[in-house]
A and B are shown apart, each in its own frame.
Chain A
Amino acid sequence: AQKITQTQPGMFVQEKEAVTLDCTYDTSDQSYGLFWYKQPSSGEMIFLIYQGSYDEQNATEGRYSLNFQKARKSANLVISASQLGDSAMYFCAMREPYGGNQFYFGTGTSLTVIP
């Protein structure tokens, strides 16, 4: 079974609008971490935001926020006020502390911001 599922291969958003990128995860652990990374066309992986499974509040980092719904096992990324530079691939990831602190990644969502 997939640990991380991203069902949106591609998304479009108008500049200055908000966009939500979906992510669901599968784990039986109580303690885990959820992450989002951005990969622009240049190829590097850029860390955006982190949410711990015990965190009661949704994580926010500037224009990025993580909509964490534990019961639904979802960790959606919300980008507010989209900018042209937000056009990139976005990957959701999960860390499971037990068994070696492995990180599992989804297949990614390609976001295109339209001027």
Chain B
Amino acid sequence: NAGVTQTPKFRVLKTGQSMTLLCAQDMNHEYMYWYRQDPGMGLRLIHYSVGEGTTAKGEVPDGYNVSRLKKQNFLLGLESAAPSQTSVYFCAIGRQAGNTIYFGEGSWLTVV
């Protein structure tokens, strides 16, 4: 998966718990993205970053926070997990003028 590593791969959370998903890349790409994938809804952008120290909101940012303190890492945080956040989360990376984005393998999160 083109040097994009997501951890953890699977996680079960109780409602109200917090957790952080880590996306790490070894391709030195400027852009990093967090998507969630739900049945029938495709991939929806949660947050993204255009460079170290920068973050921006995507289509569905509520309930999530992100940080990009280092260029190679993009963290997605859930402060107080809700069942509606049960989903598959994908990290992706891309170049500023690139012709594609490369995805990690996905992280399956279940909130009970």
Contact = CB atoms under 8 A, between A and B. Distances in A.
Nearest to B97: A97
A30 interface: no
A33 B99 contact: yes
User: Would you call the interface of chain B mostly helix, strand, loop, or mixed?
Assistant: strand
A103 B33 contact: yes
B111 interface: no
Interface in B60-112: 88, 90, 92, 94, 96, 99-103, 105-106
Given A45-B90, A91-B42, A108-B42, A103 B99 contact: no
Interface in A1-59: 4, 6, 9, 33, 35, 37, 43-45, 47, 50, 52
Chain B contact-residue range equals 20 to 34
Contacts of B96: 101
Contacts, number: 51
A43 B48 contact: no
Contacts of A93: 43
B44 A105 contact: yes
B100 A50 contact: yes
26 contacts: A4-B42, A9-B40, A37-B103, A43-B105, A44-B1, A44-B106, A45-B90, A45-B92, A47-B101, A47-B102, A50-B100, A52-B99, A91-B43, A93-B43, A95-B101, A100-B48, A100-B56, A101-B31, A101-B96, A102-B58, A103-B45, A103-B92, A104-B45, A105-B43, A105-B44, A107-B40
Interface of A: 4, 6, 9, 33, 35, 37, 43-45, 47, 50, 52, 91, 93, 95, 100-108
